[in-house]
Amino acid sequence: MFKDGVVTVSWPNCKFDGKEVLQSGQLALHPGCSVVSGDSGIGKTTMLRAIAQNNSKIRSVLVFQEPTLLPWLTLEENLALVSKEHEVAIKWLDSFGLYNCLGLRPGQMSLGMQRRAAIVRGLIAKPDVLLLDEPSASLDQLNIDRLLDCLVEIIHSRSIPILLVSHQIDHFERLKAKQFYLGGSPAFIRVV
Amino acid sequence: MRIVEACLSLLGLLLLWWGVSAISDPLVLPPPDAVFYALVTEIGTGELWTHLGATLFRVVMAFGLAWMVGVVIGVSLGRIKLLDRWFWSWVTTFLNLPALVVIVVCYLALGMTETAAILAVTINKAPLIAVNVRDGVRQFDPKYDEFASNYGLSFSQKVRSIWIPQLEPFLFTALRTGLSLTWKVILVVELIGRSSGVGFQIHLYFQLFEVDVILAYALSFIVVMQLIEWLCVRPLEKYVQRWRSDGQLAQLQV
């Protein structure tokens, strides 16, 4: 649901093996970055998946923790799969320092590059809300800094809400993001 | 280096053949030079090309049809659990149906025609392709399906960019095993009910007890199948699976 640039997303109760692991809830996301933290395995990814599946009126794009770039396609072909606007893709690749990787396949790129490329793919799909699952996981500090630069660039260039989940919330302090915490059993969300 | 090794290995096989034929009845197992002479004679009369061409045509037609039918059945069973539950037993039934039975039934139903010959081989080989493809589909990585669903990819995009690349190893296995088995079944089809082809010639020279010509025809078709493998299948496989060797470079880049 949209209102004054604010996107409200909701999710239902989620069960795993018959046991409720995540309580239903909703979040009003403002343009900019919102971070959901919580312990590993608490249900952060489940919440993102539920948001991606449950809000049919909103175009939400989920960028997975494991970059799901197709390894048999070059980066250019991967991007062309979700958008025909080549110029837009080039612009974002340039901003993210990936312009020289157009002809490379994911297996020829580092994990940090693949993560940024996956975010570019998410952006050119023109989402109303961008969902990022543990974008800093397994990255070294240099790559985390590059990733943050990219997120700052998105926040400045596109006024869309970004909802990211991470169990390492300190990585994202620089973004001055609105913070939420997912905890409890079954997990529920609250503002920090 | 691999080609040199393969050539040396084949040379060893040739020497073994020579050795065994030297201590056997030459009418039962003629030596390689006799087979080579028969081959040259058949090439000289033009008979070899005619019959090789007829067999190759049937292999291409029957295997092409079996491939199409097998892929459709395999993908359907692999993706739709309900179909798999209902029709998997049909596939295994046809898989275990002897080729000879299918050939005889097709000839009885449709007469001793080219259509019956090709249909028989298609019915016999499609289940093999279907089994391979079904196994491949069941091993699809669910993360790519989730990506496709998340980004709203069309059905044709999914087939072209996600399904086919994941199926490649299984398609190549089906291609190899299918081709090698198809031409053997084609020989039986020709032996029973056609008046051309390598199978027909083998039957003819069997009646004349000319084993050297029989081996010449068999060898010529083995050479054709090896050429298809080395000049078509392997280069194609190497090209489409080139991304599988990616990875080492990634460790060096930031």
Q: How confident is the model at residue B254 (pLDDT cuts 50, 70, 90)?
A: very low
Which one of A81, A107, A109 has the shortest CB-CB distance to B153?
A81
> Looking up tokens 């069941």, which residue turns up?
B138
Q: What is the pLDDT of residue B35?
A: 94
In chain B, which residues have their Cβ closer than 8 Å to the Cβ of A143?
254
Number of C-alpha atoms within 13 angstroms, CB side, residue B168? 17
Q: What is the pLDDT of residues B170-222, one digit of tens each?
A: 999 999 998 889 989 999 999 999 999 999 999 999 999 999 999 999 999 88
Q: Beta partners for A3?
A: A6
Is residue B72 predicted with pLDDT exceeding 90? yes
In chain A, which residues have their Cβ closer than 8 Å to the Cβ of B169?
none
Q: How confident is the model at residue A154 (pLDDT cuts 50, 70, 90)?
A: confident
In chain A, which residues have their Cβ closer than 8 Å to the Cβ of B162?
70
Show which of residues 160-179 on chain B sit within 8 Å of chain A, judged by CB atoms.
161-162, 165
State whether residue B146 sits within 8 Å of chain A by CB: yes
Q: How confident is the model at residue A1 (pLDDT cuts 50, 70, 90)?
A: low
Which one of B143, B161, B250 has the shortest CB-CB distance to A81?
B161
* Cross-chain Cβ contact A64/B147 below 8 Å: yes
Domain A2-69+127-191 has CATH 3.40.50.300: yes
In chain A, which residues have their Cβ closer than 8 Å to the Cβ of B156?
none
- Taking residues A125-146, report their average pLDDT: 86
Which one of A68, A106, A113 has the shortest CB-CB distance to B147?
A68
Is residue A162 predicted with pLDDT exceeding 60? yes
* Cross-chain Cβ contact B161/A70 below 8 Å: yes
> What percent of chain B lies above the pLDDT cut of 90?
80
Q: What is the pLDDT of residues B152-173, one digit of tens each?
A: 899 999 999 999 999 999 999 9
Q: Which of A159-168, B21-30, B131-140 has the highest mean pLDDT?
A: B131-140
- CB count within 10 Å of CB B180 equals 12
Q: Is B121 exposed, middle or buried (0-12, 13-18, 19+ CB in 10 A)?
A: buried
Q: How confident is the model at residue A4 (pLDDT cuts 50, 70, 90)?
A: low
- Taking residues A42-71, report their average pLDDT: 88
> By mean pLDDT, which of A140-144, A160-164, B57-61 is the weakest?
A140-144
Q: What is the pLDDT of residues B225-236, one digit of tens each?
A: 889 998 999 999
Q: How confident is the model at residue A3 (pLDDT cuts 50, 70, 90)?
A: low
Domain B30-241 has CATH 1.10.3720.10: yes
Is residue B102 predicted with pLDDT exceeding 80? yes
> What percent of chain B lies above the pLDDT cut of 70?
96
Is residue B129 predicted with pLDDT exceeding 50? yes
Is residue A20 predicted with pLDDT exceeding 90? no
- Taking residues B41-62, report their average pLDDT: 94
Mean pLDDT for all residues in chain A: 87
In chain B, which residues have their Cβ closer than 8 Å to the Cβ of A108?
246-247, 249-250, 253
Is residue A2 predicted with pLDDT exceeding 80? no
Residue A83, amino acid: S
Mean pLDDT for all residues in chain B: 91
User: ipTM of the predicted structure?
Assistant: 0.84
Contact of A74 with A48, CB cutoff 8 Å: no
Contact of A96 with A153, CB cutoff 8 Å: yes
- Most A CBs within 10 Å: which of B144, B146, B147, as the mutation test of the A interface? B147
Q: What is the pLDDT of residue B21?
A: 93
Closest chain B residue by Cα to residue A112: B254
Is residue A135 predicted with pLDDT exceeding 60? yes
* Cross-chain Cβ contact B247/A107 below 8 Å: yes
Closest C-alpha among A51, A81, A7, A47 to residue A186: A47
CA distance B76 to chain A (A): 23
CA distance A52 to chain B (A): 7
Is residue B251 predicted with pLDDT exceeding 50? no
Which one of B150, B161, B247 has the shortest CB-CB distance to A62?
B150
Distance CA B62, CA B114 (A): 11
- Taking residues A41-67, report their average pLDDT: 88
- CB count within 10 Å of CB B206 equals 13
- Most B CBs within 10 Å: which of A54, A57, A68, as the mutation test of the B interface? A68
Closest C-alpha among B58, B42, B43, B38 to residue B194: B58
In chain A, which residues have their Cβ closer than 8 Å to the Cβ of B254?
110, 112-113, 142-143
Distances (CA, A) of B83 to A54, B53, B74, B93, B141: 29, 39, 10, 15, 21
